[in-house]
Amino acid sequence: MPLIEDHDYLKICAQLASSLSISISAARRKVEVSAAKEGKKDLQSRKEIAQEILEKTLNENQEQSISASASFDQLLKALKEEENFMLED
């Protein structure tokens, strides 16, 4: 995958990465895979796909009204039956 140096495209991918709590390269890969599935190869269509994914992600975050860090914190809490579990004796 050749590196695309378009500022707007990289900005959208950075916003997508931030909203999904993933790396920019992972966000770019997500857009590239979606573009490949739709058979689109030009830069403008990739920007549109990235923008659509970003808007969808932001809408889902607003609907859930819970941030990624809050959901991660919630996942790290121990369940009642696992509170006293120890890996070492």
pLDDT digits (tens, 9 = 90+) for 6-30: 889 999 999 999 988 899 999 999 9
Q: How far is residue 8's CA from residue 81's CA, in Å, rounded to a whole number?
A: 49
Which segments of the chain have a pLDDT < 70? 1-4, 65-68, 78-89
Closest Cα to residue 13, out of 53, 58, 62? 53
CB 30 within 8 A of CB 40: no
Q: How far is residue 38's CA from residue 80's CA, in Å, rounded to a whole number?
A: 45
- Other C-beta atoms lying within 10 Å of the C-beta of residue 84: 7
